[in-house]
Structure 1
Amino acid sequence: MRSWTDNLRFAFQPVINLTTGGVAGLEILARPESGDILAEARRQPELDLRLAVSAVRAAVRKETLLPLYVNVFAGTLADLGGLPSLHDAVREAGRLAWEVTIDIGPPYTHVPRQALLDAVSALRGQGFRICADGVGDGDLPLRLLVDLAPDLVKLDASLLARPAAVRAMRTLCDQLGALLSVEGVETEGQCSRARAAGAQLAQGELFAPPARLPAADVYVPPRSAEVMAMPPSGPSVREFVRPAALLPATASAAQVRALLTGAPDVSGVLLVDRSGVPVRSVHRSRFLLSLSGRYGHALYADRPAARLGDPPRTVGVNATAWEVLDVVAVGDRGRTSDDVAVVDEHGRCVGVVRLADLLRALAESRVEEAAGLNPLTRLPGSDAVTGEVDRRIAAGRAFALSWLDVDHFKQVNDGAGFAAGDELIRAIGRALQQAATGATRVGHIGGDDFLVLADPEALDPLACTVLDAPWSAGGRPVTLSLATVLCAPGSVADHRQAAACLAPLKKAAKALQGTGWVVGRAGAADHEVRRGSTRTPAPAG
């Protein structure tokens, strides 16, 4: 009698890291030669579970070391709970649970909410990672998505036609501590839009179609210049995470050697304890050099590989690329090429980052940043500040946007000379930079105009530092005008609207006598004068 598995095959589609261009994992897709077994699995939870177990075993037969994405319907989880047989299959295959992400797929309608959340909690307790699949083209309620708190959210590529929705989902993912992926990417334009909207991962025919064998080569379009620009605080380490080669802490040197010789792209192996916490780091070159020496194989092959390892270097998933460089810079210079382990809040390894990936991305960001600097003050232009304004608006953060300039600057130049005027502008730029703290951003728009973005609570100290200084050019006293608009979450749609709110405030500040400062709120008609006084009209006649 023929089994339901006789006409079932599995295909593998790579999930691509859009920052590094590397393969972050493999989604395993059931491909029946006849019939619609997936429709049956949607109705029969036991069949769906057997498909998931078979998918793991199929991956083992292909001897892939990449992390796996296994599909399970939401209804299956609600009916069967934590899927202990899947956990058993992963363990029997010699894989670790945190190397497997459970892709929870729709439909969610009529699925008992609490039963689903309890099942997800059980899976997390076993070490599995959780993905919410089909978001944007399915029936997953936003409230349930937040309650699931997935490690990964997969959006359908059709949403790329609505970039605001993708950016909003990226903001939500940042709040949840999740990565954002787009599936079904078929064109370079879609890939570019996915990057621009903030997606970190993607999959689709553009990179590699599903295939019986895990893809060895994938096509990833080059990053465009507008996508490479990064916030001054540095890109998140999440954007550079690669799959980690993991073995138990008790692994022998022979086991590590077998892994390394069978996977030439693996630069090192992390030895982890039962909880997935890295305990030793084995560097490829140093390890193989030890074994290749005289008597090396005889001395080490059957002994614990930990003896040939080093203490692991680790960073949290919320670290920035600059923080990773700080970790690499500390300690033995001979270990600068070692992978850095990225760990979650429990200390479990979720992947590694390579120094080369970080340096490449940071160098690109610095080139783009340098190209936009004002040659007089070496401050960034308006694009850097307005881009950060849009990021804060998308994140729902309050902010204060200010415009500062010199009163009657043309007269200053005409009276004191352009060299004195240039030195005044440089001095104001230096003062703004020195007064800027934390998340404050300073831009030089051109001429005597500066743009300042700050948190509302950081505004007063900065303004006082700059406005209280005795400014002069060529011995002539100079006054400044400062206009500030306070933007609460949801009060403006983008940086253009914020700038429009700022324009009448600048006009009001310029109408004051002496150094003036005017503060208003987005959407409000009135404003507050914090410095300066109203000009007295000249007497008639």
Structure 2
Amino acid sequence: MHSWTDTLRFAFQPVVNLTTGAVAGLEILARPETGDILAEARRNPELDCRLAVSAVRAAVRRETLLPLFVNVFAATLADLGGLPSLHAAVREAGRLPWEVTIDICPPYTHVPQQALLEAVDALREQGFRISADGVGDGDVPLRLLSELAPGLVKLDASLLPHPAVVRSMRTLCDESGALLAVEGVETEGQCAVALAAGAQLAQGELFAPPARLPAADVYVPPRSPGEVVAPRSGPSVREFVRPAALLPATASAGRVRALLTGSPDVSGVLLVDTAGMPVRSVHRSRFLLSMSGRYGHALYAERPAAKLGDPPRTVGVDASAWEVLDVVAVGGRDRTSDDVAVVDAYGRCVGVVRLADLVRALAETRVEEAAGLNPLTRLPGSDAITGEVDRRIAAGRAFALSRLDVDHFKQVNDGAGFAAGDELIRAVGRALRQAATGGARVGHIGGDDFLVLADPEGLDPLGAAVLDVPWSAGGRPVTLSLATVLCPPGSVTDHRQAAACLAPLKKAAKALHGTSWVLGRPGVPGHETRRGSPPRPMSAPTGCASAPTGCGLGVEPNVQGV
């Protein structure tokens, strides 16, 4: 009588790091030759668990050193808890639990949520990593997704035609410390959308199809400058993590040599203790040079490899790329090419980063930033500000978007000369930049127009810093106009709607005499006048009701502020 294992095969599909182009791990996919064992496993937790155990054993037979992604249905976890048989299979395979990510698959309907959360906690305590699979095409509730706190969220490629949704999920992942992946990517166009929306990992036919043998090479489309996504504090180290070659701290030099000679892409080996914490770092070139010297093999082959290693250099998984460079700079010059170990909150190694990857990405970031700077003020253009506006909207944060310009600037240029006008613009830009504290962002969108994004509580100091200054150009007094739209969470849907609400406020500010400042709110009629004298009798400016999305802002009645 044939067993279900007789007709079951496994395929491996790479999960690709879109920043480095390296393979971050292998998802193991069951491929039954007959029947629909996956549908049966969805109903039978014991069978699903046996499939996961078989997947790990299949990976061992292929002798892959890459981290593994193993699929388990949510109902299986809720029913069987911490999957002790899977833990045993990983241990028997000589792998460490944190080299294995459990992909929790839908459906979640009718799954006892408390039991599922307790099972996930048990897996984390064992060291396994957690991924939420099929998000966007499955039925995982957002509240449950938040409580699961996965280290990786896998979105279905069907969401790529809605990049705002992908960007929102990237924001959620950033807030929770998770990575964002897109699965099912089949075209270069989909890859470009995933990159632009902030995805850090991806898998699909474009990179490599599922195959019986783990793929040695994958295809990653070249990135254009417009696809570079740079977080505000510099790229996160999570974007550059490569799989680490790990061996026990007691491993012999001969065992390390066998690993390095059999895996030419491995740049070094980390020796870890029983808890997975790095204790020594073995650099490929220095180690092989020592082993290949006269009597090197005879002297070292049976001795602990740790004697030929160095103290590991480590960074936390939440570090930025700049922090990694600081760690590299502290060591001697002979170790600049060493891998830096990335460790989790428990000190366990989750991977390594290479200096070359960081330098290339940081250089791209600097080039991209420089290309977007205004040559006169060296301030970024509108794209940097509007991108941050969309991130705050997606995160549900209140913000104030302001537009500032010089009154009658053409007359200033004509009367005082363009050199005096340029110096005035530079001075206003400097004042805004110095006043932009606490996360405020300043952009120069051309001519005498500036865009300022700030938290609502930072408005008054920022306004005073630029409006209380007696500005002049070529000895001629100059006044400024400032318009602000204050956006509570949910009041606008994107930066375009915020800009549409700002337009009539700027018109109202320009209608006032002297230095002026008006403030409005989306959906609230009228505006508050904080600076400036009432205008002469004139027809009321048109509101922004004609904007496609509508903002509900008018300019009457006029409320005189302090």
Normalization by structure 1: what TM-score?
0.95
Q: How does 1:360-371 map to 2 (within 5 A)?
A: 360-371=360-371
Q: Which residue of 1 aligns with 2:451?
A: 451
Moved more, 481-490 or 168-177: 168-177
Distance 2:7 2:372 in 1: 59
Match of 1:21 in 2: 21
- Is the contact between residue 10 and residue 28 of structure 1 (CA under 8 Å) also seen in structure 2? yes
Q: CA deviation at 1:87?
A: 0.7
State whether structure 2 residue 184 is matched by structure 1 residue 206. Answer: no
Distance 1:393 1:61 in 2: 48
Moved more, 278-287 or 518-527: 518-527
Give the deviation of 1:12 after TM superposition: 0.7
Q: 1:366-381 residue pairs with structure 2 within 5 A? A: 366-381=366-381
> Structure 1 residues 498-507 or 453-462, which shifts more?
453-462
Q: Where does residue 320 of structure 1 map in the other structure?
A: 320
Pairwise CA distance, 1:69? 0.7
Q: Cα offset for 1:521?
A: 2.4
- Matched residues in 2 for 1:227 and 1:151: separation? 24
CA contact (8 A) 1:340 1:352 kept: yes
Q: Does 2:72 correspond to 1:80?
A: no
Distance 1:336 1:459, change over 3 A: farther
* Residues 230-258 of structure 1: CA deviation (Å, up to 9, x unaligned): 24432222222111111222222222222
**Does structure 1 residue 241 correspond to structure 2 residue 241?**
yes
- Aligned position for 1:294: 294
User: What is the SS of the residue equivalent to 1:60?
Assistant: helix
Higher mean Cα deviation, 122-131 or 397-406?
397-406
Give 3-state SS (helix, strand or coil) of 2:5's partner: coil
Whether 1:505 aligns to 2:505 is yes
Could you tell me whether the CA contact under 8 Å between 2:195 and 2:228 is conserved in 1?
no
**Kept after mapping to 1: 8 A contact 2:382/2:451:** yes
In 1, Cα distance between the equivalents of 2:519 and 2:427? 24
Runs of 4+ in 1 over 4 A off after TM superposition: 535-538
Distance in 1 (alpha carbons) for counterparts of 2:352 and 2:416 = 58
State the partner residue of 1:135: 135
**Aligned counterparts, 1:147-158, within 5 A:** 147-158=147-158
Aligned to 1:250: 250
Shift of 1:201: 1.2
Deviation at 1:316, TM superposition (A): 2.2
What's 2:550 paired with?
none
Q: CA deviation at 1:301?
A: 2.4
Structure 2 partner of 1:270:
270
Structure 1 residue 537: deviation in Å? 6.7
SS of equivalent to 1:5: helix
| 1:68-217 equivalence runs, <5 A | 68-217=68-217
CA contact (8 A) 2:155 2:180 kept: yes
How far is 1:125 from its partner? 0.9
Pairing 1:433-512 to 2, within 5 Å after superposition: 433-512=433-512
Say if 2:195 and 2:229, in contact at 8 Å, map to a contact too.
no
C-alpha separation between the residues in 1 aligned to 2:497 and 2:210? Answer: 45
Shift of 1:84: 1.0
Q: Identity percentage over the alignment? A: 85
Q: Amino acid of the residue matched to residue 495 of structure 1?
A: H
Deviations 1:91-137 (A, max 9, x none): 11111000001112222222222222221111111101111222222
Whether the 8 Å CA contact 2:443–2:450 is kept in 1: the answer is yes
Which residue is equivalent to 1:532?
532
Q: Tell whether the 8 Å contact from 1:28 to 1:68 is kept in structure 2 after alignment.
A: yes
1:489, 1:275 → 2: CA distance?
Answer: 44
Q: Which amino acid aligns with 2:180?
A: L
Is contact 1:501-1:523 (8 Å) kept? no
Query: Mean alpha-carbon deviation: is it higher for 471-480 or for 522-531?
Result: 522-531
Task: Find the counterpart in structure 2 of residue 523 from structure 1.
Answer: 523
Secondary structure of 2:401's counterpart equals strand
1:14–1:467 distance in 2 versus 1, CA, 3 Å? same
Residues 206 and 219, structure 1, Cα contact 8 Å, conserved in 2: yes
**Greater mean alpha carbon deviation, residues 325-334 or residues 494-503:** 325-334
TM superposition shift of 1:535:
4.5
Contact persistence 1:231–1:388 (CA under 8 A): no
Aligned partner letter, 1:213: L
Structure 2 unaligned blocks of 5 or more: 539-562
Structure 1 partner of 2:554: none
Aligned to 1:14, what secondary structure does the other structure show?
strand
The answer on 1:329 being equivalent to 2:344 is no
Q: Write the letter of the residue equivalent to 2:236.
A: S
CA drift at 1:265: 0.8
Native 8 Å contact 1:229 1:369 kept in 2: no
Aligned to 2:391: 391
CA-to-aligned-CA distance 1:483-539 (integer Å, 9 cap, x gap): 22221221111111111121222222223332222222233223333333325679x
Aligned residues: 538
The answer (yes or no) to whether the contact 1:435–1:465 under 8 Å persists in 2 is yes
Offset, 1:65: 0.3
Q: Which amino acid aligns with 2:108?
A: Y
CA contact (8 A) 2:196 2:229 kept: no
Greater alpha carbon shift after TM alignment, 62-71 vs 190-199? 190-199
Structure 1 residue 41, shift from structure 2 partner: 2.0
How far apart are the structure 2 equivalents of 1:484 and 1:317?
Answer: 38
Q: Would the aligned equivalents of 1:74 and 1:116 in 2 still touch at CA under 8 Å? A: yes
Which deviates the most, 397-406 or 35-44?
Answer: 35-44
Tell me which moved more, 527-536 or 511-520.
Answer: 527-536
- Indicate the residue corresponding to 1:338 in structure 2: 338
| Conservation of the 8 A alpha-carbon contact between 1:235 and 1:321 | yes
Q: Which deviates more, 386-395 or 93-102?
A: 386-395
Q: What amino acid is the match of 2:261?
A: T
CA shift for structure 1 position 196: 1.9
Superposed CA deviations along residues 439-491 of structure 1, whole A, max 9, x for unmatched, are: 22211111111111122233332322222223211112222122222212211
2:450 maps to amino acid: F
Helix, strand or coil at the partner of 1:483: strand
Deviation of the 1:71 alpha carbon = 1.3
Q: Distance in 2 between matches of 1:63 and 1:130?
A: 23
Q: Do the aligned partners of residues 27 and 526 (structure 1) sit closer, same or farther apart at CA in structure 2, a change above 3 Å counting?
A: same
Contact 1:248 1:274 in 2 (8 A): yes
Deviations 1:290-320 (A, max 9, x none): 2222333233322222222222222222222
Indicate yes or no: 2:34 matched with 1:34. yes
CA gap 1:168/1:9 in 2 versus in 1, 3 angstroms: same
> What secondary structure is seen at the aligned counterpart in 2 of 1:493?
coil
Letter in 1 for 2:139: D
The answer to whether the 8 Å contact 1:11/1:213 transfers is yes
2:60 match: secondary structure: helix
Q: Following TM superposition, by how much is the alpha carbon of 1:39 offset from its aligned partner in structure 2, in angstroms?
A: 2.3
Q: CA deviation at 1:203?
A: 1.0
Q: Distance in 1 between matches of 2:261 and 2:464?
A: 64
Q: Aligned to 2:388, what secondary structure does the other structure show?
A: helix
Whether contact under 8 Å (2:156, 2:184) holds in the other structure is yes
CA positional deviation for 1:438: 4.1
SS at 1:506 equivalent: helix
Cα deviation digits, residues 374-424 of structure 1 (max 9, x gap): 222222211221122112212222222111111221221121111111111
